[in-house]
A and B are shown apart, each in its own frame.
Chain A
Amino acid sequence: MSSYLPVLVLFVLAVAFGLLSLLVSITLSPKARSQAKEAPYECGIVPGREAPERFPVKFFLVAMIFIVFDIEIIFFFPWAVVFRELGGYGLAVIGIFAALVFESFVYLIGNGALEWGPRQRQRRAEIVSPDRTLTSTIRRVGAEGRPAALEPAALAPAAHHAPGHGDHGHGDHGAAA
């Protein structure tokens, strides 16, 4: 029991520190109260409305996850004490136990229970679409910011130019043919 003496000393010190801090702040701090000082701080913006009274129910899931895994950890303590005596049997037993609890966690993630914020729709990015070609990409970049009338005229020579001189400019293209 004497091994708990440091814990007791720490406890007494913690309580004493808390009380002393309170006492010092009560006795030494200047008391100049005003409405602006009492208002909740919102980065300098005057608070416009009350905070919402109810929180999203998703917080409940976080609490439940915490509790379930808290209790799972509790069962790990007695296992850890007799870990060497139990050996493989203990590992199998605790493995089944942990797997069953972890299964619920997988189900939870699969249900999107931990996805916060508004629902995000997956949008197809057209710039990096898999069916793009060299010419389509070049045309899009080249046409950017130009008047629409100029576009065919500016690109027409380049489009005809590349196949015509394939053996000259592109060595790999000529080898494949």
Chain B
Amino acid sequence: MLAVDTPQYLPENIFFGIIAFIMVVSALRVVTTRNVVHAALWLILVLAGVAGNFILLGNEFVAVTQVLVYIGAIVVLFLFGVMLTRAPIGADAHLDNDQRPLALVVALPLLALMGYVLWDAWKDTKITEAGPPIVASTSVLSDSIFKTYLIPFEAASVLLLAALIGAIVLARRD
């Protein structure tokens, strides 16, 4: 949908195909593996694919954020959650349950909705050399953070503060 079929962009198209294939396979393994820890490790591969796609789009900042926050922080939190709860570390045959129809009811409309939104937004738009860049560069992002969205940016620090204090309250022994 977003790729261009000029020979100049051939490597990007090839790598997009490879990354997309790895991501789809890994995403399937996340939900089919019998080991919770393995599921988290497959999730790393999916998220790394997202980071790779952002690099293909030429936006390094979002790619770095993807690696630092999602692979570095979120997956680490998942693994800590597995470690701290009674979740079995090894393979578990009872990982699956009988709520597949319910999951289907949630997942299929979500897939339809997101697919429609993506198709509606871009239809058959293609990235061209002449057109405006689809992804903003880091300095444009900086400008919007420190000018337009300054208050939300400062509020984010309060959110982080609240997260840490909440963690202390949860972990405190009294």
Contact = CB atoms under 8 A, between A and B. Distances in A.
Interface of A: 1, 4, 53-55, 57-61, 63-68, 70-75, 77-79, 81-82, 86, 89-90, 93, 96-98, 100-101, 103-105, 107-108, 111, 113
Given A55-B83, A74-B65, A97-B154, A61 B171 contact: yes
Nearest to A90: B146
Contacts of A105: 164
Nearest to B158: A100
B95 interface: no
A66 to B, nearest CB: 7
B153 to A, nearest CB: 7
- Most chain A beta carbons < 10 A, residue from B55, B69, B146: B146
B170 interface: yes
A107 B84 contact: no
A60 B156 CA distance: 21
The 9 closest A-B pairs by CB, nearest first: A78-B142, A64-B167, A100-B157, A104-B164, A82-B142, A67-B73, A63-B80, A104-B161, A97-B157
A77 B138 contact: yes
A53 B89 CA distance: 8
7 contacts: A53-B89, A60-B171, A66-B73, A75-B153, A97-B156, A100-B158, A104-B161
A69 to B, nearest CB: 9
Task: Say what secondary structure dominates the interface of chain A.
Answer: helix
A122 B164 CA distance: 28
A70 B171 CA distance: 20
Given A60-B170, A63-B80, A108-B168, 6 more contacts: A65-B167, A100-B158, A100-B160, A101-B160, A101-B164, A108-B164
Interface string B131-174: 00000001101110110001001101110110111011011110
B100 interface: no
Nearest to A5: B11
Interface string B61-89: 10011001100111011001001111001
B11 A86 contact: no
A4 B135 CA distance: 18
- Most chain B beta carbons < 10 A, residue from A58, A78, A97: A78
B50 interface: no
B11 to A, nearest CB: 7
Contacts of A103: 161
A1 B12 contact: yes
A79 B77 contact: no
Contact of B55 (A4, A53, A58): A4
B168 A63 contact: no
Contacts of B170: 57, 60
